[in-house]
């Protein structure tokens, strides 16, 4: 997938992006259909740790994007969602030695009424995740835990918080996405994996559409 973008940074500097997102052969993805009711559903396809190649220029500074260290995420969805809907999402990835990119992903979808969930940690965390963060201060740490199994206990230390909001009367969407570094512990098939300073993000978005 090729991405071409032009715009302006917050300070007014021109931004030009020209890069390609590669999809390696055999790349794993998360694909789910959530049946909210007999008339509402949600279909999602999420592709993480996709190598990116190209450049981003901000003002006179050019940032080269090398596939071995720059990766992207593609999130594609369709459906008829319940109203209102609150989404909590976290994602991160890293390269382990000389091996191909490994994903360490966390995701929860929570409408706070119907109890439907999605989650993915390679082979799956089959329980609800506990999210702990402070909506009054988004730059405080975000902690995500699998309390029952102990498979997941990670914390995001935010570096930047991006806020968006759009209101069209009866239709409204908005939330915050915090970019930062994940650290903590994963337990998979009896093995404990410690992660440190894994680049990623966590977000909370509320929708009425």
Residue 123 has what pLDDT?
A: 47
Residues 55-65, mean pLDDT to the nearest whole number: 96
Most confident of 23-27, 112-116, 153-157, 197-201: 153-157
* Cβ contact 153:183 at 8 Å: no
Q: What is the pLDDT of residues 146-172, one digit of tens each?
A: 999 899 999 999 999 999 988 887 788
Residue 96 has what pLDDT?
A: 55
Residue 34 has what pLDDT?
A: 86
Residues 107-118, mean pLDDT to the nearest whole number: 42
Residue 95 has what pLDDT?
A: 60
Residue 124 has what pLDDT?
A: 57
Q: What angle do CA 160, 45, 148 make, to 5 degrees?
A: 70
Residues 182-208, mean pLDDT to the nearest whole number: 89
- What is the Cα Rg of the chain in Å? 18
Residues 13-28, mean pLDDT to the nearest whole number: 94
- How many Å apart are CA 83 and CA 78, to the nearest integer? 15
Q: What is the pTM of this model?
A: 0.78
140 burial type by CB count under 10 A (0-12 exposed, 13-18 middle, 19+ buried): middle
Residues 167-191, mean pLDDT to the nearest whole number: 89
């Amino acid at each position: 997938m090729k991405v071409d973008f032009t715009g302006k940074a917050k300070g007014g500097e021109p931004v030009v992006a020209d890069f390609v997102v590669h999809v390696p052969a055999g790349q794993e993805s998360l694909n789910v259909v959530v049946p909210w009711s007999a008339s509402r559903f949600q279909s999602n396809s999420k592709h993480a740790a996709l190598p990116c190649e190209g450049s981003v220029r901000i003002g006179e500074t050019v940032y080269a994007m090398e596939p071995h260290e720059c990766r992207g995420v593609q999130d594609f969805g369709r459906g008829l969602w319940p109203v209102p809907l609150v989404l909590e999402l976290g994602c991160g990835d890293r390269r382990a030695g000389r091996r191909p990119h490994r994903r360490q992903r966390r995701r929860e979808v929570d409408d706070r009424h119907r109890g439907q969930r999605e989650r993915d940690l390679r082979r799956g965390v089959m329980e609800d995740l506990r999210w702990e963060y402070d909506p009054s201060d988004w730059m405080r740490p975000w902690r995500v835990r699998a309390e029952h199994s102990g498979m997941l206990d990670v914390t995001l230390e935010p570096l930047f918080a991006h806020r968006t909001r759009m209101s069209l009367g009866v239709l409204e969407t908005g939330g915050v996405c915090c970019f930062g570094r994940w650290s903590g512990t994963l337990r998979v098939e009896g093995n404990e994996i410690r992660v440190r300073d894994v680049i990623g993000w966590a977000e909370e978005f509320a929708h009425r559409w």
